[in-house]
Amino acid sequence: MAVRMSRVRAWLDASPLAALGLALMREATGQVEPLAPLVPTRPAALRRGKRIAVPLEGASGSWRASGLHPDAAALLRRCVVARASLVVSGATGSGKSTLLRSLADAIPHDERLIVIEDTNELVLPHPHAVHLECVPAREGGASTVAALLAHRSAAGGEAPLLVDLDRWAPSLALRAGLSAATIVDALVQPGRERELVSRWSAVPFLPGSPSFHASFDAARVCALLETVAEGRALVADLGAGADALEHELLATLDRLCVVSGTHTAQLQALFCAVPLLERAPCAVGLVVTAADPEDAARIAGRVGFPLLAAIPSDPYLATDDFAARAPTLRAVDELLRSLH
């Protein structure tokens, strides 16, 4: 490839088009001499990989020398030494990272420093700094798992009712491309509940509403679900968070399927939820995504709930899209069998 590209470059350099392009550029810019190549100009300290910071105090080259009040500099240093909570806020380019490096430099070098960022960008002068990167939850795909579970069941001849009970971020209707009556509409129109149930392909479907959290009433929701289900099986996407584990609502379920990915944040949330899940008035099982069966079984053993299914890594689940690869569908079929 390198040889081929060099030949293309040589052909372009010898082409009359190159001379014409250069002539047009010189006429437009007034630049007669060839442009000098850009040479990176990084400080020698950075080229050697040194971690530098502007000190808070000092006669020159410090925040105090640049105009920071001496009392403010002393206060910041005392706050750092006392491990006080500080919030650094400002617009882009205002010097937040520079100030953070200065504050980190004030931390005694015999202590450990843990840095948590969305992206690992902050280079600190501290010799014992550990950097952790906080990434958004990925490959959980609980909503997609619920939708696939309902659709695979319908393909087998038993179409359950699919209900989006996520109180804060209902998204199944968006993925289905439906604009229909929601669960909130059904709650405020008694007697018309069954009429307001839509269909997502072969699956009866009652979409969620972003305002559901403001009007949630467990007793009314349970009564609504019993009315619209009409004796059919029901698959509900409860969403995420502790408020999704409403005791009165869980008492109407035969099985609570907890879907978790394998990223650190997801596993930490799962472990923290164990005390709440242990008090659930229904059977609890675990579905682990982006994991092979051995790792999924190990996670289930740690949390103490039976493993219902291990779903392999799937880019569609990573973005929680309503789509899946064949191994994912086989895992969902296994989940269906474990629920029967």
Tokens 């930490």 sit on residue: 268
pLDDT at 119 over 70: no
Instruction: Give helix 326-339 / helix 142-155 axis angle, nearest 10°.
Output: 80
Instruction: Identify the pLDDT of residue 37.
Output: 46
Q: Which tens digits make up the pLDDT trace of 92-114? A: 777 788 888 888 888 888 888 88
Instruction: Identify the pLDDT of residue 207.
Output: 94
Q: How confident is the model at residue 306 (pLDDT cuts 50, 70, 90)?
A: very high
Distance CA 61, CA 100 (A): 16
Of 51-55, 123-127, 217-221, 332-336, which gets the smallest average pLDDT?
A: 51-55
170 Rama class: left (phi>0) / alpha (psi -120 to 50) / beta:
beta
Would you give the DSSP letter of residue 243? Answer: G
Higher-confidence residue of 308 and 231: namely 308
Instruction: Identify the pLDDT of residue 3.
Output: 43
Instruction: Identify the pLDDT of residue 130.
Output: 81
Instruction: For residues 172-195, give the mean pLDDT.
Output: 88
Please count the residues of the chain: 340
Helices marked H in 52-117: 70-81, 96-105
Q: How confident is the model at residue 16 (pLDDT cuts 50, 70, 90)?
A: low
Instruction: For residues 44-49, give the mean pLDDT.
Output: 42
- Domain residue limits, the chain: 45-133, 142-339
How do beta strands 113-117 and 161-164 pair? unpaired
pLDDT at 286 over 90: yes
16-46 as b/e: b if 16+ CB within 10 A: eeeeeeeeeeeeeeeeeeeeeeeeeeeeeee
Higher-confidence residue of 23 and 62: namely 62
CA 189-194-198 angle, to 5 degrees, is 105
Instruction: For residues 205-232, give the mean pLDDT.
Output: 92
Instruction: Identify the pLDDT of residue 172.
Output: 86
Chain-centroid distance, C-alpha 238? 18
Higher-confidence residue of 264 and 154: namely 154
Mean pLDDT of all residues belonging to the chain? 81
Instruction: Write the class of the CATH domain 45-133.
Output: alpha beta
Q: How confident is the model at residue 143 (pLDDT cuts 50, 70, 90)?
A: confident
Of 50-54, 64-68, 266-270, 304-308, which gets the smallest average pLDDT?
A: 50-54
pLDDT at 340 over 80: no
Distance CA 54, CA 99 (A): 8
Instruction: Identify the pLDDT of residue 71.
Output: 85
The Cβ of residue 215 has, within 10 Å, a number of other Cβ atoms equal to 14
What homologous superfamily does CATH list for 142-339? P-loop containing nucleotide triphosphate hydrolases (3.40.50.300)
Q: How confident is the model at residue 33 (pLDDT cuts 50, 70, 90)?
A: low
DSSP bridge partners of 198: 205
Q: How confident is the model at residue 144 (pLDDT cuts 50, 70, 90)?
A: confident
Instruction: Identify the pLDDT of residue 45.
Output: 41
Chain-centroid distance, C-alpha 53? 32
pLDDT at 6 over 60: no
Q: Which tens digits make up the pLDDT trace of 310-334? A: 999 887 765 655 667 888 889 999 9
Instruction: For residues 156-163, give the mean pLDDT.
Output: 91
